[in-house]
Amino acid sequence: MQRIGIHDNFFEYGGDSFLAVKVLSKVLQRWPYHQLTIAVFLEAPTIAEFAAVIRSGKKIMTQCLVPFRESGTNYPFFCIPGAGGNVVSLRVFGRGFSEDQPLYCIQAKGLDGGEPCGKVEEHALHYLHQIRGVQPEGPYHLGGVCFGGLVAFELARLLQELGEPVALVALLDTYNPAFARTLSKPRLFQVHMSFYLRRGLLHLQNLSRISWRKRWEYVNDKVGALLRHLSDFSLLRTHRNTAFVPAFTEADAEYCGFLKETLDRVGQASTLAASHYVPKYYEGKIMVFAASDRFIEPYDDDALGWRPFAKDVEVITLPGTHSFFLTGQGRDIAVSHIEKVTAARCNVEADLWMSEVQG
C-alpha cells in the first residue's frame, strides 16, 4: 500500500464526497466544538492544511457560498449541488472549467447544524444575498445539478423580477416535478400505463437473472416502490397542493456516521421542498443538460418537463447516467456550453477597448 504524506492531496488519492463525510465525522467526534462542514476539504485538502484548521479553531466554510476559483476574466458562474447541498460532489465538475472561469458553488443552508430551508423559494432568497455580495449586479450566470437546478431556476426568476439581467440558467439533469400538471388527464393516464408496462417487463427480465431465494426480496422491494408511486399519483389526481415527483426520484445526499442526522435533515428538507415546488413562468432562456442514459420514466420528455415553464428552452444531451454525466466527455460538453456564455464579458470588454483605441 502506498504511503500518504501530510502534504498529499485528499482528492488525488481517491478521496470523494463519501470519504470526506467519513473523515469529517471522525474529526467531529474527536473535536466536537469545531464548526466545520465537508466544504473544508476544498480549502484544506492535505493533512497538514487540515491540521492547521483544527489548531486555529476558526469557523470555516459555514457560509453557503464556497469559492472554487475567485479569479478569472469570465463572468462568475454560480452552481448549486443536488439534494443535500454537498459542494464536494461538484469538485470533478469544477475542475473542468478553465483558469478564466470564476466559479462559486453554494452549499445548502443547515449543513453547519442550523435549520435548513423548507422551500425552494427560501433557498433562492437566502442564496440571492450571498451571490450579490460577490457580484452586485448582472448579468448573472446560474446553474444547478438535479435539485440544485430548481433553486437556480427560482433564483433566475427572482433576479428577473428585481430587474437584473440573467444571461445563463443551466439546469443539469434537473427534472421538473410540476410537469405532470401540464398534461391532460387522458394523456396522464396513457403515460402512466405505458410506464407501468415498461417497468413490468424490465422487472420480469431482472427476475429471470436472479436466484429463486432472492426473488421474494426483489418483488417485495418493488411492490413498496409501486405503492409509493400510486400514493403520489393520487395526490396529483385529487389536485392536492403537491407537485408530482415520480417514485424513481431519489435524494442524492450521502449519509455517514456522526454527520448522519445533519445530512439526513438537509437532504430530506431538499426532497420535501422539491415535492412542493411549482415553478412560475420564466421570461427568459434556460439550458437543459440531460443525461443520455435514463431510467424508465413516466414522462418521455427530452427537455425534462421545462418547455411549458420558460420562454426559450435549449436542450443539450450529455453522455452517461445521472450519476456520471458530469464526468469525462459529458463534463467537457457542459463546461464548453457554459463558458461560451460566461466568456461574453471578455468579448464585450475587448470590443470596448478596440473602439477606444480606434477612436
pLDDT at residue 184 in the model: 67
Average pLDDT over residues 15-21: 59
C-alpha cell at 293: 442514459
Select the more confidently predicted residue: 351 or 304.
Answer: 304
Q: Would the pTM count as exceeding 0.95?
A: no
Output the CA–CA distances (angstroms, integers) from residue 135 to 71, 102, 138, 149, 164, in the order listed: 13, 11, 7, 20, 11
pLDDT at residue 47 in the model: 79
Give the single-character DSSP code of 136.
S
Q: What is the pLDDT of residues 42-63, one digit of tens each?
A: 667 777 877 777 777 655 545 6
Angle, vertex CA 295, rays to CA 271 and CA 95, nearest 5: 70
Judged against a pLDDT cut of 70, whether residue 243 lies above it is answered with no
Under a CB-based contact definition with an 8 Å cutoff, are residues 262 and 211 in contact? no
Average pLDDT over residues 83-112: 83
The sign of the dihedral angle between the CA atoms of 78, 83, 84, 89 is negative
Share of the chain above pLDDT 70, in %: 65
Buried-exposed string 240-264: b where 16+ CB fall within 10 A, e elsewhere: eebbbbbbebebbbbebebbeebbe
Share of the chain above pLDDT 90, in %: 28
Identify the band that residue 77 occupies on the pLDDT scale cut at 50, 70 and 90.
very high
Identify the band that residue 282 occupies on the pLDDT scale cut at 50, 70 and 90.
very high
Q: What is the pLDDT of residues 260-281, one digit of tens each?
A: 666 677 778 888 888 889 999 9
Judged against a pLDDT cut of 60, whether residue 312 lies above it is answered with yes
Identify the band that residue 231 occupies on the pLDDT scale cut at 50, 70 and 90.
low
Query: Residue 160: which residues within 8 A CB-CB, separation 6 or more?
Result: 166, 282, 283, 284
Average pLDDT over residues 285-307: 82
Select the more confidently predicted residue: 355 or 107.
Answer: 107
Q: Report H helices in the chain.
A: 17-30, 40-43, 47-56, 91-94, 120-134, 147-161, 185-208, 212-237, 260-276, 328-342, 344-358
pLDDT at residue 121 in the model: 92
Identify the band that residue 192 occupies on the pLDDT scale cut at 50, 70 and 90.
low
Q: What is the pLDDT of residues 342-352, one digit of tens each?
A: 997 655 444 44
Q: Mean pLDDT across the chain, nearest whole number?
A: 76
The string of DSSP letters for 20-79 reads HHHHHHHHHHHSTT--B-TTHHHH--SHHHHHHHHHHT--BS-SSEEEEE---SSPPEEE
Average pLDDT over residues 134-156: 94
